[in-house]
Structure 1
Amino acid sequence: MSDVKKSARSLAGIAGIVAAATLLSKVMGLLRQQALAAAFGVGVVADAYNYAYVIPGFFLILLGGINGPFHSAIVSVVSRRQREEIAPLIETVTTLVGGVMLLASLLMFLFADPLIDVVAPGLSQTEFGLQTKAIAVEQLRIMAPMALLSGLIGIGFGVLNADDQYWLPSVSPLFSSLAVLVALGALAGVLGEDVTAARYAVLGGQVLAWGTLAGALLQWLIQVPAQWKSGLGRLRLRFDFNRPGVRETVRLMGPATLASGMMQINVYTDLFFASFIPQAAAALTYANLLVQTPLGIISNVILVPFLPIFSRLADPADWDELKVRIRQGLVMTAITMLPLSAILIALAHPIVRVVYERYAFDQEASQIVTSVLIAYAIGMFVYLGRDVVVRVFYALGDSDTPFRISIVNIFLNALLDFLLIQRFGAPGLVLATVGVNVISMTWLLVVLDRKLNGLPWRSWSQPIIGLTLGSLLTGLTCWGVLWGLQQVWGTEGFFLQLLQLSLAGLVGLSVFAGILSQLRLAEVEQIVGRIRRKFQRPG
């Protein structure tokens, strides 16, 4: 889509736009989760919401998310087409997807009760679980329209990215979080009234669900004017399903959706087992957000700019350059994820206390969430690295391979869940996912090695091994500094904990920066060179 591009932005320029927008969205998401933790802790409302959100969230993350299959398929197809072909293509795809997702929303509303039984069978075994289930069923009915909205959001994001618009798709989740914050603020207005705990739980569940639905609606509405202004499709019913571009989009979208859906099925599998452990679902969500906040920012910075680049290098004549770009993606993943993992593991408990511990979220809740956070942090590199490799397969027009591997991963994840939950409890569910991602990434790389006539394994693995060792030293440094500060100053008090975290984190990052400078990686030197040239430009 060369004539659609308004300007040829550099990879660094796109990454900067995405990083700034995603940072705003993630900060607002963290504030939302802090408000939710303060209002409900790890109690019945928080647990119910996590079970009710499984299916609507499945659609919103899977179909409506940046880097999701709808977004990836649209970018891959539209980037190679002339401008005059795009509007009819997008309108036809929107009509097809809208019809399917409207049906999904209706089914979700009608069968909310049995769906919650499928998601969380363990809720029917205790009084706490029965109360949780009742709230979850009502929440699911309220959030049912999110299935339709998710499809529209994902298509819109793909169109805007293909039109060289990155700010709005990356910042749009901010509005979703804002809607939930407004809803929780309204709920706070009833705290001064004579409301029983049971009534507060029911009312809290309803408000939380309506706020989530309003957020998804806002995410879609804010992208509509930009899409219309670009001339790349309007809200018009079009049934030209035989159009070649539609077939190609559906061909990529179908298996890609199923492949990504396998990951969400793994999430469902985790919650299936978590339903037998009170408070586990809430703990998984709180810990996951602490990982996803930085991971989401970094993943968008890496994946959003690289996907169109991978797509343009899909021709065999360009495979040498494609391999260079894949290495860039994996090394950038290692540079960001490995030290971050080490720091999160070393500082997990004070991080949880600083972020969440207030009002309904007490010290016991902090202990529960800390153990889960450590498990999540262990797998950050393979989580994002696997996504980088999957995008290469999408760019090559091969969505079948990730799909087949994902099917195997479902059974593997269920087996590991069963084995590890008995030994580690809720953290075992996360460790099972880490194991699945390690196997999946390795498998994908082996297949890619054959597909691209060989990969430069040594030049890829050497920097990652060096970064791994450097990150281990970073984590040990953070832990040692924190331990020393706690011996001198103690551990109680929000500002004291925040100061200790800041000092330990800064020392650890300084150690990693020193190690990084000694590794002399080409990717780092390129970034530093760009920054120097930017500041050296004459005013």
Structure 2
Amino acid sequence: MSGIKKPSRTLVNIAGIVAVATLISKVFGLVRQQAIAAAFGVGAAANAYSYAYILPGFLLVLLGGINGPFHSALVSVLAKREKEEAAPIVETITTFVSGILLLVTIALIIFAEPLMDLVAPGLNQTQGVTATQAETLALTKAIAIQQLQIMAPMALFAGLIGIGFATLNAADQYWLPSISPLFSSITVIGGLAGLAITLGSKITSDNYAMLGGQVLAIGTLAGAILQWLVQIIAQWRSGLGKLRLRFDFHNPGVKEVLRIMAPATFSSGMLHINVYTDLFFASFIPKAAASLSYAGLLVQTPLGIISNVLLVPFLPIFSRLTDPKDWHELKERIRQALILTALTMLPLGAIMVSLAMPIVQVVYQRGAFDKQASQLVASLLVVYGIGMFFYLGRDVLVRVFYALGDADTPFRISIFNIFLNALLDFIFIKPFGAPGLVLATMGVNITSMIFLTWKLHQKLNGLPVKKWSLKIGALAGASVFTGLISWGISWSFQRFIPQQNLLIQLLELAVAGLVGLAVFAFFAIQLKLPEVDILVSRIKQKLRR
């Protein structure tokens, strides 16, 4: 049986569309964070937003994100059916999901306060803090509760967005679903611009902080609604279901979707619990939640883009090489993916580490975001930079297991990681503070890579781990030189040009970063790795477009 629509694009075309859309969305997301930083710094409104967004954001990523359980389940079923069969399936699933998530929305509104006590118990501290700190914590909690109640309907729209995303992808439409997340950034930026015009660009008083928190929450909710609206309009035009109640639960397609969706949702949800664990401990550290958000975005922006460019082309390759007779080539492809990860993440991480402070100052330091805030976020960015290779390397190995039809091994490891992350958070938070939370995440990723590699070694009858490790170790050594050179150039700029302004800082970052990358490229070329040619070829292809 033919699918909804015959694919008219190659895998490379699709990957290019998704990569460009991801880049645009990430850029707008970064601008949104810059606007939040300028308005609130690491104050009560920004910290409250980090806590309040945990549950709505968790649902938006889990249910509404690309490759999420709703997306995967619906695409796998709809792609095998004609358009006439798709509409009843989509409408029934929409009815079912909307009913459940409407109840979740109501629960979030009613139980916002006890949920906030569970998510951020540190906001209830009264002992061991000054009177001013206690007032700030109480204000942060009050704002967070109000923000959670405002954003609660995102639970409903998260499911609808995921359904729309999958439906359009199954119909060979990729641009609109991939670009639509930027609408949330646009609405938040617009709300903050209106706030700045009306009240001034810097929020200082408690009343202003409360009002600013409301603007953040309303803008975020409005963005989710707008994201769903543009998808549903395209869905209607494609004849893939309308907004109507339908209870066709005996439809074989509906049963298949639900059979896939339930375990996939549970499995994917496990991966996001670590975020909650980190923020649970962060609630005991002043200004940590907002700082983690700012530093995390600086890392996730290049990570998201590079992971699309690297992982998307490798996924079908891994899947085609799962037969035991092809395992030799599969191992070679795994090696290529890991070496390419090292070639991109190690030098980028080294530059993040060595230029953390000027990067944060250029991106965020304006308005309410002062030098003290820059120092806190920069300390987190240093640890994030060290762990970038392990973050993406773990994703590469997980994709290999999925290609082999083994989702159980990554799931079991993710369950173990929940407890490991909580333990490491508890151990590292006292000696290191907020950076200890990022250090714990890095420890979890390293442990995951070790376990995944060991299980692959058993599954594929042996991997040349020692040989791979020597190459990656050599690239790690080269990245150390990269960091040292970049740091030295940055130090020289600050030593000989004491009057720093935005233009000088941009020049400093450009020179230090480019020279550092040139040094890394020189060392990488000496290793005569074939992956260097692959990486250069891909970069040239992207530049020609």
TM-score, normalising length: structure 2? 0.89
Q: Deviations over 1:33-64 (max 9, x none)?
A: 11111111111111111111111111112222
Identify the residue that residue 94 of structure 1 maps to in structure 2. Answer: 94
Deviation at 1:331, TM superposition (A): 3.3
Gap change, CA 1:193 and 1:91, over 3 Å in 2: closer
Equivalent residue of 1:165, what SS?
coil
Is the counterpart of residue 116 in structure 1 residue 116 in structure 2? yes
The one-character-per-residue Cα deviations of 1:48-97 (angstroms, maximum 9, x if unpaired) are: 11111111111112222223333344445555667665544444433333
Does the C-alpha gap of structure 1 residues 98 and 455 become closer, same or farther in structure 2, counting only changes over 3 Å? Answer: farther
Q: How does 1:333-344 map to 2 (within 5 A)?
A: 333-344=341-352
Counterpart of 1:496 in structure 2 is 504
Distance between the aligned counterparts of 1:294 and 1:73, measured in 2? 28
- Give the whole-Å Cα distance in 1 for the aligned partners of 2:353 and 2:468: 25
The SS at the match of 1:222 is: helix
> CA distance change for structure 1 residues 195 and 347 in 2, over 3 Å: closer, same or farther?
closer
Does residue 188 (structure 1) correspond to residue 189 (structure 2)? The answer is no
Cα separation, 2, equivalents of 1:194 and 1:45: 12
**Separation of aligned partners in 1, 2:143 and 2:260:** 38
Which residue of the partner structure matches residue 214 of structure 1? 222
Aligned amino acid, residue 109 of structure 1:
I
Give deviations 1:225-277, integer Å, cap 9, x for gaps: 33344454444544444555545544443343333322321111111111111
Range with bigger deviation, 507-516 or 362-371: 507-516
**AA in 2 matched with 1:341:** G
After TM superposition, list the pairs within 5 Å mapping 1:371-520 onto structure 2: 371-455=379-463, 457=465, 460-490=468-498, 492-520=500-528
| Structure 2, gaps ≥5 residues long | 126-133
Out of 151, 154, 157, the residue aligned to residue 165 of structure 2 is 157
Q: Counterpart of 1:278? A: 286
Using the TM superposition, give the Cα deviation of residue 333 of structure 1 relative to its aligned residue in structure 2, in angstroms.
Answer: 2.5
CA 72–409 in structure 1, closer or farther in 2 if over 3 Å, else same: same
Give the direction of change, closer, same or farther, for the CA distance of 1:258–1:193 in structure 2 (3 Å limit): closer
Query: Structure 1 residues 395, 160: closer, same or farther in 2, change over 3 A?
Result: farther
Letter in 1 for 2:24: L
Q: Deviations over 1:294-314 (max 9, x none)?
A: 112222333445445555666
Partner Cα distance (1:115, 1:534) in 2: 46
SS at match of 2:33: helix
> What is the CA–CA distance in structure 1 between the aligned matches of 2:449 and 2:203, rounded to whole Å?
51
Q: Does 1:197 align with 2:198?
A: no
> Displacement, 1:10?
4.1
1:140 CA drift (Å): 0.3
Residues 405-446 of structure 1: per-residue CA shift (max 9 Å, x gap): 222111111110010001100000111011111112322233
Contact 1:76/1:395 (<8 A) preserved: no
The 8 Å contact of residues 139 and 209 in structure 1, kept in 2 or not, is answered as yes
Tell me the distance in 2 between the aligned counterparts of 1:377 and 1:292: 11
Q: Is the 1:375–1:431 contact (alpha carbons within 8 Å) kept by the matching residues of 2?
A: yes
Distance 2:85 2:335 in 1: 34
Mapped pair 1:67 → 2:71: no
CA contact (8 A) 1:259 1:407 kept: no
Aligned CA-pair RMSD: 3.1
Partner of 2:129: none
2:181 pairs with one of 173, 177, 186: 173
- 3-state SS of the aligned residue for 1:62? helix
Change (3 A) 1:417 1:304: same
Residues 310 and 65 (structure 1 numbering): CA distance in 2 closer, same or farther, change over 3 Å? farther
Cross-structure match for 1:9: 10
Offset at residue 204 of structure 1 (A): 0.7
Distance 1:536 1:436, change over 3 A: closer
Q: Is 2:154 the partner of 1:146? A: yes
**C-alpha separation in 2, matches of 1:193 and 1:363:** 17
> For 1:32 and 1:441, how far apart are their aligned partners in 2?
33
The alpha-carbon distance between structure 1 residues 242 and 491, as it changes in their structure 2 partners (threshold 3 A), is farther
Question: Secondary structure of 1:190's match?
Answer: helix
* Greater shift in the superposed pair: 494-503 or 92-101: 92-101
Distance 1:198 1:460, change over 3 A: same
CA distance in 1, matches of 2:432, 2:41: 22
* Conserved 8 A contact 1:412-1:436: yes
Moved more, 39-48 or 252-261: 252-261
Q: Which amino acid aligns with 1:106?
A: I
Q: Report the residue type matching 2:30 in the other structure.
A: L
- Cα distance in 2, alignment partners of residues 342 and 312 from structure 1: 35
Query: What residue number does 1:135 align with?
Result: 143
The answer on whether the counterparts of 1:348 and 1:374 sit within 8 Å (CA) in structure 2 is yes
| Greater mean deviation of Cα atoms: 82-91 or 358-367 | 82-91
Partners of 2:465 and 2:259 lie apart in 1 by 31
Distance apart, 1:506 and its partner CA = 0.9
Q: For 1:6, what is the secondary structure of its paired residue?
A: coil
Partner Cα separation in structure 2 for residue 84 and residue 488 of structure 1: 70
Matched-pair contact (CA < 8 Å) for 1:79–1:308: no
Greater shift, 435-444 or 116-125, is seen at: 435-444
Contact between 2:38 and 2:202, CA under 8 Å: does it hold in 1? no
* Aligned-residue offset at 1:394: 3.7
Report Cα offsets for 1:165-205 as digits up to 9, x if no partner: 33223322211100100111111132159998121111111
| C-alpha distance in structure 2 between counterparts of 1:322 and 1:248, whole Å | 31
Task: Give me the whole-angstrom Cα distance separating, in 1, the residues matched to 2:246 and 2:321.
Answer: 32
Q: Give the corresponding residue for 1:358.
A: 366
- Listed as ranges, the gaps of 5+ residues in structure 1 are none
Moved more, 404-413 or 441-450: 441-450
Which residue of the partner structure matches residue 49 of structure 2?
Answer: 49
Quote how far apart the aligned CAs of 1:530 are.
6.8
1:491-516 per-residue CA deviation (whole Å, 9 max, x = no partner) reads: 63222111111110111122223333
- Give the CA deviation at 1:156: 2.7
SS of residue matched to 1:386:
helix
> Quick one: distance in 2 between partners of 1:194 and 1:429?
29
Identity %: 65
Select between 39-48 and 293-302 the one with higher mean Cα deviation. 293-302
Deviation at 1:471, TM superposition (A): 2.0
CA contact (8 A) 1:382 1:434 kept: yes
- Structure 1 stretch displaced more, 527-536 or 286-295: 527-536
The TM-score with structure 1 as length reference comes to 0.90
Q: Give the Cα separation in 1 of the matches to 2:51 and 2:259.
A: 31
The secondary structure found in structure 1 opposite 2:500 is coil
CA distance in 1, matches of 2:253, 2:323: 19
Amino acid at match of 2:429: I
Q: Distance in 2 between matches of 1:239 and 1:217?
A: 24
Q: Shift of the alpha carbon at 1:319?
A: 5.5
Work out the CA distance in 2 between the residues paired with 1:92 and 1:449: 44
